[in-house]
Amino acid sequence: MSAVPSPHREPIIELTAEQFRSRLTEALNVYVTAMGYPASTAQQRAPMWTAHVQREGWRCIGAFDDRDELIGLGYGYIGTPGQWWHEQVRRGLALSGGAAHGWLDDYFELTELHVHPEYQGGGLGERILRKLLESARGANVLLSTPEGPTRAWRLYRRLGFTDVLRDYRFTGDPRPFAVLGRPLPLEA
């Protein structure tokens, strides 16, 4: 399905934890639709996303259409030792023989960034990402994304993300992932 750019610029706002929780069903729908996952994935993710709201430095940006429906979102928080993703990446770096080079010392974890397929290709993902990172705490931002040539890859590379760890398989997922990072702040 090709992207159909909206004739106007969608409102992009920071969501409070309460606003995020009230739109959790919408957010998970955007996620499963954008990722092509079965609808049942939303039920598995809901408790995790709800718990993430409690993490230090949590921020969420939502994009809305003219009917006030959520069409894109991004969120993240400060990554710290003991968190599942942090420990997975630390283990991956150790197994690969790669040094962390300080990436895991002080970073904002870009946990989720998704745009509904009907709105992809018009720059909405980049606008959400830029707004999310403009006040993010940390010396760096880190993320993981499935390996392969996608719009997400092109976005991250265009914004200066570099390889931290490649072809890594997170526990519970057979697909290869890349961990990408870049220093903060993100330039204009």
- Give the tens place of pLDDT for each residue, 77-130: 999 999 999 999 999 998 887 666 689 999 999 999 999 999 999 999 999 999
Residues 63-74 have pLDDT tens digits of: 999 999 999 999
CA distances from 54 to 7, 50, 151, 184 (A): 36, 8, 30, 23
CA distances from 167 to 90, 177, 185 (A): 14, 5, 27
| Active-site residue (options: 75, 77, 107, 156) | 156
Q: Where are the domains of the chain?
A: 12-183
Better pLDDT: 107 or 187: 107
Question: Does the annotation mark 156 as catalytic?
Answer: yes
What does the alpha-carbon distance between residue 46 and residue 139 come to, in Å, rounded to a whole number?
Answer: 29
Identify the CATH assignment for 12-183 out of 3.40.350.10, 3.40.630.30, 3.90.1150.10, 3.40.50.720. Answer: 3.40.630.30
Residues forming beta bridges with residue 162, ordered by sequence position:
181
- On average, the pLDDT of the chain sits at 92
Residues forming beta bridges with residue 182, ordered by sequence position:
141
Helix (H, G, I), strand (E, B) or coil at 182: strand
Per-residue pLDDT, averaged over 37-53, amounts to: 96
Q: Write down the pLDDT at residue 7.
A: 45
CA distances from 29 to 70, 96, 138, 143, 178 (A): 9, 35, 29, 21, 24
